[in-house]
Structure 1
Amino acid sequence: MPDQTLSAEQILAMLAAAPPRIAAITAGLAPAQLHAAPAPGEWSANDVLAHLRACADVWGECIAEIIARDHPTLRAINPTSWIANTGYREQAFAASLAEFTAQRSELLARLRPLAPAAWARAATVVGAGRPLERTVLFYAQWLASHERTHLKQIGRVAGTAR
């Protein structure tokens, strides 16, 4: 969860930067390198991207619902559980990155035009303990902050693969 509050502009910049950063970090790596874990029990670059996509699916959908509906009640979904419903881990890295990039463009198209008050729109989230109030700002910041850690992870994995 985010430990500091970022501005909407900072969040938008971080979200926009992630797909091209992943492309730059992994440029020149062969498909086998992208699917190879650096050590037993560790994630490959493709595994990390699959995780990022699952998080973007889950938290991006929360953002979309909060924007579209007046104070919805949302059921919490764990991205780690959600990924089992996808074929992201098995997808070719380039195709997966292209889909992640397109999904990110759609999210940014939703977020960029929001008025400052719209970032404070909220939902009640149930299904993971006591009900929680979560805002568009919360989910967008959570997504951006969470990705920062995994971008570094992809960098380490790519460095090992080289």
Structure 2
Amino acid sequence: MDRSVIEAYVAGPAKLRAAVAGLTPDELRARPGPGAWSILEVVVHLADSDDISIDRMKRMLTEDNPPLLYADETAYVERLHTHDQDIEDALTLLEVGRRQWARVLRRLPDAAFASTGQHNRRGTVTVGEYVAGYIDHIDDHLKFIIGKRANLGKPLPTA
């Protein structure tokens, strides 16, 4: 197990925080079109999804190949008033959740990252795949946020 993956996992929320910095509440809530999510909804989705992923990893590490059920992210956004949540709270949840979970991950033996669960849509998954997948999850949504900022006339400053 390449332990640098854990540090990349912990770093994701800081990249997200930087990507939304300086946006007004109206800009955070602006939807690019029908059925599309706002930046706020994306950030809240990421926090919700991380909660679910950490629970799944805990179960994979403590149970024998547990069942892992699909969560309907669209239903979460549509039915849980995601549009009215606080972005700072969502960012803090992501930061604290990943920081806390990374403490566990750092103490695991390499073999633990091969612990499995049975996802009802994806089949067999491992803890290692989840850690890597949730790095990609933030990175994939960052592309949307960067594009949305550009469309709002507020591109991210280049270094």
Q: Which of 30, 40, 43 lines up with 1:49 in the alignment?
A: 43
Kindly tell me the number of residue pairs found equivalent between the two proteins: 152
Is residue 73 of structure 1 aligned with residue 66 of structure 2? yes
Q: Percent identity?
A: 23
Shift of 1:137: 0.7
Structure 1 partner of 2:147: 156
Going from structure 1 to structure 2, the CA distance change for 1:87 and 1:43 (only over 3 Å counts) comes to: closer
Shift of 1:13: 3.0
Q: Is the 8 A contact 1:38 1:44 kept in 2?
A: yes
Shift of 1:21: 0.7
Q: Is the 8 A contact 2:28 2:38 kept in 1?
A: yes
TM-score, length of structure 2 as denominator length: 0.81
For the aligned residue pairs, the C-alpha RMSD in angstroms reads 2.3
Going from structure 1 to structure 2, the CA distance change for 1:28 and 1:9 (only over 3 Å counts) comes to: same
Structure 2 partner of 1:27: 21
Q: Which of 130, 134, 138 lines up with 1:143 in the alignment?
A: 134
Q: Is the 8 A contact 2:66 2:116 kept in 1?
A: no
4+ residue runs of structure 1 moved beyond 4 angstroms?
84-87
Higher relative contact order (CA 8 A, sep 6+): 1
What amino acid is the match of 2:128?
A: L
Give SS of 1:124's match: strand
- Uncovered stretches (5+) of structure 1, i.e. residues with no partner: 1-6
Q: Distance in 2 between matches of 1:118 and 1:96?
A: 29
TM-score, length of structure 1 as denominator length: 0.79
Structure 2 partner of 1:3: none
What amino acid is the match of 1:95?
A: D
Q: Which of 115, 118, 140 lines up with 1:124 in the alignment?
A: 118
Going from structure 1 to structure 2, the CA distance change for 1:41 and 1:79 (only over 3 Å counts) comes to: closer
Structure 1 partner of 2:3: 9
Deviations 1:51-78 (A, max 9, x none): 2122212222111111223x24223222
What amino acid is the match of 2:11?
A: A
Going from structure 1 to structure 2, the CA distance change for 1:39 and 1:87 (only over 3 Å counts) comes to: closer
Give SS of 1:112's match: helix
